[in-house]
Amino acid sequence: MTNLSIRPVTAIIGAEITGVDLAEPLDETTCTAIRAALAKHHVLFFRKQTITPDQHIAFAKQFGPIAAQPFAPKYGTNPEMIVLDQTSPKGDGADAWHSDNSFMAEPPVGSILRAIQVPEVGGDTCFASGIAAYEALSPAIQRLIDGLTAIHDITKPLLKGIAAGHAAADVGEMQKKWPPVEHPVARAHPVTGEKILYVNRNSTTQIVGLSERENEVLLPMLMDHIRSPEFECRFSWDTSSVVFWDNRTTQHFAVPDYRTQRIMNRVTIGGEKPI
């Protein structure tokens, strides 16, 4: 086993991992320790890493199969890796609290993001714990949402991506390929059993079984609730940074406070149907 060290960055979410070289294949003991850290801390930060795109993909594959990408990559050619190339990030979708690709029937288990080029200032990413958000709800609201489901739809993030110039796709064809899906409003973590608030502004359109007026009140409240600072941590990137987050338990927000180019490589790990 490598000399793995885990340092929490807040009491709620996030840990910095040192003593591991992500460019090298990991032994099973190290993989098990990283899995346990991810289940406990929800997002893991690795600094001082030098990895190639192939090593990035190989690292991800040690934790599961690579997820299907709903959008054809506009930047880069490797179908297993999404290249995020941004200079004007405001309004492009990543600057809203979201869980990656929750509009899929089996959303990704996790995402691994590597910084290639970062702005001189700005460009941080915030992460929030859906577990802490659920646990902070009153027992009455918990009882209300337990057992409810919500619709997640590709249309809004797709239109944002097209408008920002990051995607070129036929909207009708994409809607046929990825029709709306139903997921629990409060899903359970398959490893820990903890409840997770699982609605987000990018993809969740309505709670099933509620009237339009009831949705207008309850859904925005739940989506805004996760923005509370006590559920969050914030990460400042450099070009030796790699971040691995549990896409089930977290939402993230890419702060659009920069005007120069920011390039990131992302690999996502295939998931399971939320329960």
Point out the residues that are catalytic.
Answer: 98, 100, 252, 266
3-state secondary structure string across the chain: CCCCEEEECCCCCCEEEECCCCCCCCCHHHHHHHHHHHHHHCEEEECCCCCCHHHHHHHHHCCCCECCCCCCCCCCCCCCCEEEEECCCCCCCCCCCECCCCCCCCCCCEEEEEEEECCCCCCCEEEEEHHHHHHHCCHHHHHHHCCCEEEECCHHHHHHHHHCCCCCCCHHHHHHHCCCEEEECEEECCCCCCEEECCCCCCEEEECCCCHHHHHHHHHHHHHHCCCHHHEEEECCCCCCEEEEECCCEEEEECCCCCCCEEEEEEEECCCCCC
